Chains A and B, each alone.
Chain A
Amino acid sequence: MNWITVEFAGRQERVAALKYQGRLWFHWRGETHVVDLDQGRRGGGRAGGGETGVTTAPMPGKITKVLVAKGDAVKKGQTLVVMEAMKMEYTLEADREGKVGEVNVKRDEQVALGAVLVRVVD
């Protein structure tokens, strides 16, 4: 972690900052900020760039329930998969209406961050 002084609106501001794995972490005026230097991916968010119809694992964890099968018709907001991480359950919902084109996971499977779990197509 580096403490640096950078000018902002005519004032010298003291900032703690660090670059790590494509991200800039800095602490300024009592808040920590994270900026992705690697374009096209928002840190911590849905990997895969938020492509509609593609449900990815928002965190590493274990799949506890798969509620759809290939060919199923789904509505927007319908729960597709339930997963568990850090001992809490998270439900992943369809972000569009359509038909399930592919299901890549099964119950009790461990998945990595960003793994494509379900694809909903036209």
Chain B
Amino acid sequence: MARPRKFERIGIANRGEVAVRIIRACQELGIESVLLHSSVDEQTAAYRMADQTVCIGEAPSNQSYLNIKANVRGAKAAGCDAVHPGFGFLSENASFADAVADAGMTFIGPTPENIRLFGDKISAKAHVEKSGGPTIPGYQGEQQDIEKLTAECDRIGYPVICKAAAGGGGRGLKVIRSRADASEQIQSAQREALSAFGSAQVFLEKYLDHAKHIEVQIFGDASGRAISLLERECSVQRRHQKIIEEALSPSLGDELREKISFTARDLAERAGYRGAGTVEFLLQDGEYYFIEMNTRLQVEHPVTELVMGVDLVKAQILTAMGQALAWPRDLKPRGHAIECRIYAEDPYQGGMPSVGKIVAAHWPYGPGRRFEVGFEPGDEVTSFYDSMIAKVIVWDETRVRAIQKMKRTLEDTIIFGVRTNIPLLQEILSHDEFVRGTMTTRFFETHFPKGLSFGGYTESERKFIQSVGSRLGETPSSGGSEANPWAHSWSRG
């Protein structure tokens, strides 16, 4: 174990709410923060909060947030002694971790060897199999032509999932239901993979069609010990992008919990894993299968923090400094936490992205309510980056109470200027299957295949809306029928 030291200044190679999260951790630890940002991100909360800011390139990610040289140069120029990559972008890029180290700075995260082992899904699977962990049948070969991949789909048996070899987070990920749509889906996955991760390589896997997504948060401390912080359930996903996450899972008994937790911890410890990591599993019919390990902080880390009483971002920084953690040996879960991801999109238009200026926002703070937000009113949501603009996280004594709290919190959350998925989140939170906790990864596509539909307003609602409009000192312009000038202009976000 290296001698403990203290960072003076941490560069943040990220944006949005996670940049804000890291800046706050730095502030509390008495470390300066340097935001490495793109040219369009000056109008963001993180930009205003950071001690220093360095513009590292233009808006498109490949010219800024995905540009290794620009990030390293920016961090070095600002005098950083460490770099935190957040999640997404370069967070799981071993070359970036190497480049940061080569420039004489510390990469806050696992070692480049850890990232290479788990970041490459082929070697990751091999590691799991060698460790005696359960994996799913699939194809992870180098041969990437459509004919070969289609033949492998046939061999594995449909449905088959096709995903980016280099990525995570739902990008470049497609489900192939039959031989007929294999070629189209594979090509689409390859394009998304290339665009999101710079590599078109994909791999195939048997699609478990009534499985739950269960993931275990692990943490390798500075002494080389791996710790399990138990599981999260993230079965509510759309296009393989998580929407709602919770800790712990409502579907694990003590025995299964202990088993899955041990598998994850063991995999990490055998690899000499350092820092925060998440081992993802699919759970179907009482059996669980390793899907991947994410060698970074996870979007949904707050639910684990609330239930386990830890601060994962500070733990990452302390571990990178070679310092010991203050966590008790016997970490115990308490209560229940739920996270809802707020996406800038129109749930009444099939989840179409919604861009524009956020003109007003109201967050209903209260006990056990946490808001992770990267913008302030006046800031712009652009089409350059992910549509997740905020996260709402609640903690309460039981799952039922946490659901109640989340529903009320979302009712009182106001965002004007872009549409959000909040109405859809409300529907999910009220859905029987979610309330019972029996949802699988098919939940969303089964119950909300087209998002939400809107039947229109009643006559008295229209009158009411008209009153609201006129109270603000403007009457609606002409158009529509005479009896009801608003008739053709309703939409609901």
On A, residues with C-beta under 8 Å from B are 1-2, 4, 6-9, 13, 15-20, 24-28, 30-40, 42-45, 58-61, 64-65, 82, 84-90, 113
Chain B residues with CB below 8 A from A24, complex form: 465, 468-469, 472
Chain B residues with CB below 8 A from A44, complex form: 346, 349, 352, 354, 419, 491, 493
CB within 8 Å: A-B pair count: 158
Chain A residues with CB below 8 A from B385, complex form: 86-87
On B, residues with C-beta under 8 Å from A are 171, 188, 191-192, 195-196, 239, 344, 346, 349, 352-355, 357, 359-360, 362, 383-387, 410-412, 414-417, 419-420, 422-423, 426, 460-461, 464-465, 467-469, 471-472, 474, 476-480, 486, 488-493
Find out whether the CB atom of A4 lies under 8 angstroms from the CB atom of B493: no
Bound CA span A37–B472, Å: 12
Given known A26-B465, A59-B383, contact A17–B471 (CB-CB < 8 A): yes
Given known A30-B412, A33-B492, contact A15–B195 (CB-CB < 8 A): no
Q: List 8 A-B contacts (CB under 8 A).
A: A2-B472, A6-B468, A17-B468, A17-B472, A25-B416, A25-B417, A27-B414, A59-B353
Main secondary structure of the interface of B (DSSP, over half): mixed
Bound CA span A61–B465, Å: 33
Find out whether the CB atom of A86 lies under 8 angstroms from the CB atom of B383: yes
Beyond A13-B464, A89-B192, 9 additional contacts (C-beta under 8 Å) are A1-B360, A2-B472, A17-B472, A25-B493, A26-B468, A27-B416, A39-B479, A44-B349, A84-B192
Find out whether the CB atom of B359 lies under 8 angstroms from the CB atom of A20: yes
Chain A residues with CB below 8 A from B486, complex form: 35
Find out whether the CB atom of A45 lies under 8 angstroms from the CB atom of B491: yes
Most buried by A among B239, B419, B465, B476: B465
Find out whether the CB atom of B474 lies under 8 angstroms from the CB atom of A37: yes
Contact partner, B415, options A32, A39, A40, Cβ 8 Å: A32
Report, nearest first, the 6 A-B pairs whose CB atoms are least far apart. A39-B479, A30-B411, A1-B360, A25-B416, A34-B493, A86-B387
